[in-house]
Amino acid sequence: MPHTPVWFMRQAGRALPEYRKLREGIAMLDSCARPDMVTEITLQPVRRLGVDAAIFFSDIVVPLKAVGVDLDIVPGVGPVVAKPFASVEDLPRALTPDDVPYITEAVQQLVGELGATPLIGFAGAPFTLASYLVEGGPSKNHAKTKSLMYGNPELWSQLLDRLADITLAFLRVQVDAGASAVQLFDSWVGALPAADYRTYVQPHSARVLAAVADVPRIHFGVGTGELLADMGAAGADVVGVDWRVPLDDAVRRIGPGKAVQGNLDPTLVFAPREVVQAKVRDVLEAAKAAEGHVFNLGHGVLPETDPDVLELVVNTVHAGL
């Protein structure tokens, strides 16, 4: 298998003191709309850690905010929607490039700064966006989301159709501005059984991925061990695997023709350094079963993480087994 590249989720910058200093006193969504800050925050892990690609700094709800949804990111809570989705009248409007000129500008700046280092675009998948809109914020059981999905499948389909339009437009803006690849991030879809994923979610994610087929496409979710094959079938070139499923097992579930991304538990970076290195090598060993592998930390980097340990992880991956 070729050299395993390594990058971390867009949250990697949160562990760096430079990130905290840069964002001091600035709200999350405001920082996502400032090309200078997006550029600097995206570059920080590349400079400090030596990762092989940059993840575009953004948030799942940025495109929703751009089309007029009244929401904010509340510290310690996450995205909070002022008026949760309940009827067809609540459908957000479509997104156009004119809604997000700061995204185009930031991507173009980053491509110029990064040179040969790839930039990976980022967007939230329709199911996760729908969950935030319907629940009004983060949810542990997604009861309102599932109630709408099962109880009013026609309205559910309308909502996911619109969100797919918004997501693919958001990704298309990034690709057209120069992003080398894209990642469709479905944080909460692991709440569904496979049959319901195929019926209510997969067609909408597949439409998004098909619209950016001119670049490599990564599809990642959390707790999606039972959905891995179906997520790959949605059109991804690379299927993200969280730390709950060993990569060799994940490869068998996904089937041939796909690379995998994953999958060190983000909490392992708090273990002794020798344990961290051993666990990284375990991931690399399991990844030998894959047709291609990108090393990654599960669902992201915890803000309390020591950047020196992240650097150790990167160096260990680059050194190989």
Catalytic residue among 34, 72, 99, 132: 132
Told to judge if 14 belongs to the known catalytic residues of this protein, a careful annotator would answer yes
Catalytic residue among 10, 48, 162, 207: 10
Catalytic residue among 19, 48, 59, 207: 59
H or E segment at 54? strand 54-55
Told to judge if 273 belongs to the known catalytic residues of this protein, a careful annotator would answer no
Distance CA 107, CA 104 (A): 5
Q: For residue 287, which amino acid is it?
A: A
Return the half-sphere exposure (C-beta side, CA atoms, 13 A cut-off) of residue 23.
23
Told to judge if 207 belongs to the known catalytic residues of this protein, a careful annotator would answer no
Told to judge if 252 belongs to the known catalytic residues of this protein, a careful annotator would answer no
In 101-223, beta strands by DSSP E = 119-124, 181-186, 217-221
Told to judge if 23 belongs to the known catalytic residues of this protein, a careful annotator would answer yes
- Which residue is associated with the tokens 């009244």? 70
Q: Which residues are identified as catalytic?
A: 10, 14, 23, 59, 132
